[in-house]
Amino acid sequence: LRTAKSYLYILTSVIYYVQVITIKILLLLTYFLNKHKQYLINRLYSLISKMLNLLTYSKAIGLNTSNIGQT
């Protein structure tokens, strides 16, 4: 049976890699939240608002162009 000293390098490397992975995840989360605040919080320019506006405009254009030939 080995002593704890012989496994210390394995434990330190596991702790190091867990910290690195945690930092990377937190940085990605922080980056995402900053971009979310920057672009999506203002309701006038939110992604859903833009999609709904495009849908409304496309329906209006479709209705107007289809009625032009029938009048």
Mean local confidence (pLDDT), 17-34:
85
Structure confidence at residue 45 (pLDDT): 57
Q: Within 10 A of 40 (CB to CB), how many other CB atoms are there? A: 13
Claim: this prediction has a pTM higher than 0.75? no
Domain that holds residue 4: 1-39
Burial of 5 (0-12, 13-18, 19+ CB in 10 A): exposed
The span from the CA of 60 to the CA of 36, in Å, is: 30
Provide mean pLDDT across the span 45-71.
Answer: 68
Same-domain status, 29 and 47: no
Between 9 and 69, name the one with better pLDDT.
9
Note whether 19 and 53 are same-domain residues.
no
Q: Are residues 26 and 54 in the same domain?
A: no
Type of residue at 10: I
19 vs 40, residue with greater confidence? 19
Q: Return the pLDDT at 41.
A: 54
Same domain? 23 vs 34: yes
Domain count for the chain: 2
